[in-house]
């Protein structure tokens, strides 16, 4: 009973941290806490459901990040959208392609004094070249009918660019997985002073 109660407490705290209902204004937050809370909420989708799809491994490589000024609940929604898309891609991958365990890599690093980067990558089937330029278009989706709205990436890009003055891009090749990179200013004032060239240097 004690273990169950502790587990429930952990989930409730993570849900509170995820939603941040009492922090609708911009605040300085720990991005790693938001990512970890999102992973806890999505953990049921990471487990093995049947023999056709092994459990999805999460590989975290967290850098030494400062607190970042952001709208925490909106940023957490971006994490949900990106991680859910990665899980969908791994679930849709044909069984014979699971010679390598399905995995999602999450990496964070400090680009320079004023900017940080978040990389979310999967080892799924990747995005065909003729779809790559449309992934952020509203209502565009490569998922089966009834599975996707085509709004998740479009909304995520708006949150990063319009609400946080950041940048968001996608790298993908068929058979090589997909990686989304988010770049955020540490403070909102930094977004107006940082040269664009510094952002293009992020791998």
- Predicted confidence at residue 113, as pLDDT, reads 93
pTM of the model: 0.75
The CA distance from 169 to 20, in Å, is: 26
152-169 CB burial, b ≥16 within 10 A, e <16: bbbbbbbbbeeebebbbb
3-state helix, strand, coil in the chain (%, to 5): 40, 20, 40
Does residue 137 carry a pLDDT above 50?
yes
The CA–CA distances, whole Å, from 180 to 51, 108, 119, 165 equal 28, 12, 6, 17
pLDDT computed for residue 96 by the predictor:
52
Percent of the chain with pLDDT over 70: 66
149 vs 106 pLDDT, higher one? 106
Which pLDDT score, from 0 to 100, does residue 197 have?
A: 41
What class, spelled out in words, does domain 2-200 have in CATH? alpha beta
Which band of pLDDT confidence, cut at 50, 70 and 90, is reported for residue 175? confident
Q: pLDDT-based confidence at 150, cuts 50/70/90? A: low
Mean pLDDT rounded to a whole number for the chain: 78
Q: Where are the domains of the chain?
A: 2-200
Residue ranges of E strands in 154-199: 167-172, 178-185
Q: How many Cβ atoms from other residues are within 10 Å of residue 126's Cβ?
A: 20
pLDDT at residue 140, as a whole number:
53
Determine contact, residues 127/172, Cβ cutoff 8 Å: yes
- Model confidence pLDDT, tens digit, residues 42-55: 998 998 776 667 88
Please give the residue that has the higher pLDDT: either 202 or 139.
139
Match 């399905």 to its residue by tokens: 102
pLDDT band at residue 63 under the 50/70/90 scheme: very high
According to the model, what pLDDT value does residue 54 have?
84
- Check whether 73 has a pLDDT greater than 60: yes
46 token code pair: 């990471």
């Amino acid at each position: 009973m004690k273990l169950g109660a502790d587990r429930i407490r952990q989930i409730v705290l993570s849900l509170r941290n995820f939603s941040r209902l009492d922090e609708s204004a911009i605040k300085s937050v720990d991005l790693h806490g938001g990512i970890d809370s999102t992973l806890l909420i999505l953990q049921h989708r990471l487990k093995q459901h049947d023999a056709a799809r092994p459990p999805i491994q999460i590989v975290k490589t967290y850098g030494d990040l400062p607190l970042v000024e952001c709208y925490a609940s909106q940023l957490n929604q971006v994490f949900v959208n990106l991680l859910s898309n990665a899980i969908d891609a791994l679930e849709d991958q044909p069984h014979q392609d699971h010679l390598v365990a399905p995995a999602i890599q999450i990496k964070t690093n400090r680009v320079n004094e004023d900017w940080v980067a978040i990389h979310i990558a999967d080892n799924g089937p990747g995005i065909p070249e003729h779809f790559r330029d449309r992934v952020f278009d509203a209502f565009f989706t490569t998922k089966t009918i009834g599975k996707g709205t085509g709004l998740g990436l479009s909304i995520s890009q708006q949150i990063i660019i319009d609400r946080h003055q950041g940048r968001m891009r996608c790298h993908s090749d068929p058979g090589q997985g997909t990686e989304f990179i988010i770049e955020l200013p540490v403070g909102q004032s930094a977004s107006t002073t940082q040269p664009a060239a510094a952002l293009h240097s992020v791998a």
